[in-house]
Structures are given as structure tokens and as C-alpha cells.
Amino acid sequence: MSEPAPRFGLIDGNTFYVSCERAWDASLRDVPAVVLGNGDGCCIALSPEAKALGLKIGTPIFQVPDDIRRQVQVRSANFALYGDISARIVTILRDLFPRVEVYSIDENFVDVEGIKDPVALCLEARRRILQWVGIPCCVGLGITRTLAKAGNKLAKNQSKRAIRAGRLAVFHATPENIHQLSVEDVWGVGHRYAARLAKEGVHTAADLAALPEEAVRSRYGVVLARTQQELRGIPCGDLELDEPDRKQIVVSRMFGRDVVDPFDALATFATVACEKMRGRGLAAGALWVWLDGNAHKDDGFHASRAVPLPFPTRDTGEVLRAVRFLSETMMKRDQLFKRGGVGLADLVRSEQRQADLFHGPDERRERGMEVMDRINAKFGRGTVGVGTTGWRVGGRRPGEPIRTPKDAQWRPTLKFLSPSYTTKWSELLRVR
């Protein structure tokens, strides 16, 4: 009996953040390399060489023993670079496949239904991405998206993520050949479900597919039941070409140091959240603010406040007034804060708002917000802001000018940030 033809493919960049750094810095190739997350705190991406030294995702870099730390090349997360390279990969895929779903910054589902030789086309996509962008990839194929995801994991296992893996970098997963995949590596299972399933003797994807359908639905819910159906080769969904409207937008960061007055940071987070919200054509009906203490100094606490807005708004100024009100109710004299965030909730499409006798949109102010967004989109985030807000939300490069004294307090300095190779003329690579 011939195996069913695949309908979906999943193309995933291997150790994507590290690969992006290696594509522009040859000194990182074939050596242990890690990328650090927010404020140069924890490892969020590891090269295979770094994993061989025992490092794991989430390990704080300051906890790495000195003898291992000296062997490792460290970089701060450069999300502008990673986002730009991700967009280039999507452009390559859209030239080759009829439909592409951008699932995450390093993963893309593609439609291979009806293609005469999907393996050959996926190998061509992998070759172009490696040659044109410098990112090694693995490809999973399957008749469902879950099987394609499983195939990608199995392709990584059999190819060892090697750059010259060739045909081993592509795996066509079917219900008959997923017995090598651990159940915790199945898309949507996770560690908690994996632990519960292990107690029932379910250790592989094939074991999960063989469970009675009603038992899975009653004990684990409809989501895992759909996953099981997809592992059996029964599609429960198609590519999602348009991103669904978000229910909430959150911006939060760890501060560079403990601060007494976090309002500047919260105001900047609110400004960025509003910019993202308007870019999606949404308006906020409520918001919440939270602040955390420094748990490493025995001052760990969490405080949060929420407030509904009288009318869904797109106005940054109105959101800032609410953020100030909420933050002042949480701040205490001489209290230090280490982390904070702002969330916009009850999001609705802006054209679906209904005004009443007392509340409605301020069209003049909202047009002003749109002009501000266009200026920032053209000349860079933070070119124009409300009051002292609107500056960069991420970390600061070493030597970068400090705009305000308060800005210097909460923005961390990213000591290992790579240049903006693809987004700044002054930082382009020079060939000698």
C-alpha cells in the first residue's frame, strides 16, 4: 500500500537565532555559540556545540561555570536582524509554493498538495534559503499539519541539523512511521500532558494515535483529540493565511536595574502597544498594568491593576492617562521595581465600535495618532512620541546616546549586540 501524498510542509530554520548570527559573523561557525534574551539574562538559542557543553535553553548566563563560559561565544538577541532574515525566507518560499503560512519567526507551513515531486521542491527551497540567506533548514512533510510538524522534528533527528544533510533534511511523516517520535515532541502535547500520558504507557506519537478517541477526548479535551486525529492522517485544519485578530497585546520588559519610578518605562511600553494595536486596525476596551520586585534580592512581589475604558480607544494619550492612574495606585515610597508591563485587552475592530450619547471616538486625535505612526514607520520607532515616551523599547547598544536620565535607569545595555547588518547603512559589512 503506497503512503498518502503530503498536503503540507513545514520549513524550519535550524537553531534560527544562532544561524542568523553565524550567517554574518564567520567567527561563530563551528564553535559553541549562544544568544541571550531580555537584558542579556538567559540563553534563548544554543548552537549544537553549546548544547554539547551541557548548556540548556533558559540557563542564566551568570550561572554558567567560568571554564565553560570562556569557550562560548555570546550574542545579545538582535530581533531586528532575525525579523529581516525571516521576511527574506518567506519571500523565497512564496516564489516556490502556491500558499505559505507564516507560523513563527523561524517556521513556515507551505502547501504542497498536487505538486508532482514535493520532496524535490522542498530540497530546492532548502538550497535557496541556505545559498541566498545563509540559514540551514529542515523540512517535514505530511498529510496534516501535525504530521508535517512531526516530520520536521524527525528530519532534524536523522540529519543532526547538518548543513550538508541533503535528502536527510526532509522527512515525510505518515501514521505508520512516527513511532520514533517522543510524545512530548508532538505539536500541542507539552510536558504536562506528556507526564500524564506516560503514566498510561503512552511514550511515542504512535502510542497516542492508537489510544481510543473517546478516552482522549474525555480525559484531555478536544484540542488533544484533534491532535490525535491529525496523527492518524485525518486533517482537522487548513493553512491560516491571515492572522486572526488578537484578543490582547502585551509589552513587558525586565529593567536594566532596579528603579523607583517605573512610569517612563510603562509609558513607553504603552506607546509601543498602542502602535501595534493601531497597525492591526484594533481599539482597546480595557488595559492592565503590572509591576514586579527583584526576587534575587529577596524583594519578589507582583502587583497588578486593571481598568475598563468608557469607549474602545486608539488614542495613546488616553491610554497613558490610564497607565499613570494605575501605576500610581501600585507604587509605594522607596519601593524598587525590576520588571513591568502593559497589556491592552478587549480589543475590537475600530470600525465596529458603536458610539452612544456620551462617548465616541475623537477622530481628530486618532488621525494625529495615524500621522505619528506613519512618521515612525518611515524614520524609525521613537522619532515622534507623546511627551517623553516613544523611544526605543529594547536594550541600548554600548555607547548609544542617552536621551533622558530616566531612560538610562530602566533600559538595559546589551553588551553583546551584533551590528544591524541589514537595516543600517552605517553598519553594513565591508569587503576588503
Q: What does DSSP say about strands 170-172 and 137-142: parallel, antiparallel, or unpaired?
A: parallel
Cα distances from 56 to residues 53, 192, 194, in angstroms, run 9, 19, 20
pLDDT for 363 equals 85
Mean pLDDT of 95-115: 94
Asked whether the predicted pLDDT for residue 391 surpasses 90, the reply is: no
Q: Are 227 and 149 in contact (CB under 8 A)?
A: no
Query: Taking Cα atoms as reference points, which of 37, 41, 21 lies closest to residue 29?
Result: 21
pLDDT for 322 equals 94
Q: What is the rounded CA–CA span in Å between residue 220 and residue 214?
A: 10
pLDDT for 331 equals 87
pLDDT bracket for residue 350 (50, 70, 90):
confident
pLDDT bracket for residue 38 (50, 70, 90):
confident
pLDDT bracket for residue 320 (50, 70, 90):
very high
Averaged pLDDT score across all residues of the chain:
89
Asked whether the predicted pLDDT for residue 182 surpasses 90, the reply is: yes
Mean pLDDT of 52-68: 91
Q: Which residue has the higher pLDDT, 402 or 374?
A: 374
Domains and CATH numbers, the chain: 183-232 (1.10.150.20), 249-379 (3.30.1490.100)
Mean pLDDT of 420-430: 84
Cα distances from 200 to residues 194, 223, 402, in angstroms, run 10, 19, 58
Q: Which residue has the higher pLDDT, 125 or 298?
A: 125
pLDDT for 95 equals 95
pLDDT bracket for residue 175 (50, 70, 90):
very high
Q: What is the pTM of this model?
A: 0.83
Length of the chain: 432
Asked whether the predicted pLDDT for residue 432 surpasses 80, the reply is: no
pLDDT bracket for residue 408 (50, 70, 90):
low
pLDDT for 149 equals 95
Share of the chain above pLDDT 70, in %: 94
